[in-house]
Amino acid sequence: MVDGHIAKSVVVGIDGSRAAVAAAQWGADEAVGHAVPLRLVHVIDRNRGFTPDVVKAQSLVAAAALQDARAAVEATHTPVKVELESIHGDPGTVLLQASRSAVLLCVGSPKAAPHGPSDSLAANMAASAHCSVAIVPATQYSDPKRAGCRIAALVNFSTADQDVLQEAMEEAQLRAFPLCVVRTSQCPSSDLVGDRQGIERSHAAAAVEESLVNWRRYYPGIEINIVHTDQFLRYVTMHQQSIRSVVLGAEYHNEVAQLIELTRSRALRDADFSVYVVRSQHL
């Protein structure tokens, strides 16, 4: 039962889709990095089990989906302990409860059906989970070490953004990719030095440099670049082929929702980056 499970783990929602399998493979690396088990959870939707035969069939489907996901993880040879769990209930409710004791919740983001609804379980988890959430598209793990890729992090250096930067550094180290720190606040110009806004921007720019100097000591060898842009989503769209993962804080509600829709869009075949939503209070 979810309520009785208090051990820390990386939780992955499994539903039999390719995206869920990719999320399991992606989450395995995270579990190793956090030194916790990988917990694969399949939720048997209680709203669809109307007869004993249907309930039995659902249980068989759940078992098969969990075994397929575990086999995919084992095929990566990632040294991680895998736990399987099948639970009856509402998928959203069960995963939200599981997120209370998780270090990270991973869910797949399958391509949206043509003319289908715009909402998704992934978007709901990103908005409501009690821990950080990773949304992983089906193609994410097809080439995990693809050359020329980077981690992109939205960091404007509020207090919460310090945690985002730490998670981004850990992702860059774990995935062996360069890190691109993307700022949307404007750099101070000489004619703004005397006004309040210019001073605040100057302090923010100084905080960026100081923080990166400190983090480089803890994560040596990571290539780090700082990029300034007016619109973060435009930057991601323009560089979607080379971005492997986008890391940002949960407070960027609109950006998170739009990034998830980018990964689900059938029109954008190159948008196969994961979206890592950081919740500071649970790190």
Write the pLDDT tens digit of every residue in 64-73.
999 999 999 9
Name the E strands within 15-81.
Answer: 38-45
Amino acid code (one letter) for 197: Q
Please name the residue that has the structure tokens 């302990």. Answer: 81
Average pLDDT of span 14-21: 93
Question: In terms of C-beta density within 10 A (0-12 exposed, 13-18 middle, 19 or more buried), how is residue 242 classed?
Answer: middle
Name the E strands within the chain.
Answer: 9-14, 38-45, 82-89, 102-109, 133-137, 150-154, 179-183, 224-228, 243-249, 274-278
pLDDT tops 60 at residue 267: no
Helix (H, G, I), strand (E, B), or coil: what is residue 12? strand
To which CATH superfamily is domain 9-136 assigned? Answer: HUPs (3.40.50.620)
DSSP 184-244: -SPPP-GGGTTSHHHHHHHHHHHHHHHHHHHHHHHSTT--EEEEE-S-HHHHHHHTTTTEE
Q: For the chain, where do the domains classified as CATH 3.40.50.12370 start and end?
A: 150-248+257-270
- For residue 118, what pLDDT is reported? 47
pLDDT tops 90 at residue 153: yes
pLDDT confidence band for 58 (50 / 70 / 90): confident
Average pLDDT of span 249-254: 92
pLDDT tops 50 at residue 211: yes
Architecture of 150-248+257-270 per CATH?
3-Layer(aba) Sandwich (3.40)
pLDDT confidence band for 83 (50 / 70 / 90): very high
**Who's near 213: CB < 8 A, 6+ residues apart?**
none
pLDDT confidence band for 115 (50 / 70 / 90): very low
- Of 201, 181, 182, the residue nearest 193 (C-alpha): 201
- For residue 109, what pLDDT is reported? 85
- For residue 281, what pLDDT is reported? 55
- For residue 45, what pLDDT is reported? 82
pLDDT confidence band for 156 (50 / 70 / 90): confident
Q: For the chain, where do the domains classified as CATH 3.40.50.620 start and end?
A: 9-136
Average pLDDT of span 213-219: 83
- φ, ψ of residue 181 to 5 degrees: the values are -90, 115
Burial 219-231 (b: 16+ CB within 10 A, else e): eeebebeeeeeee
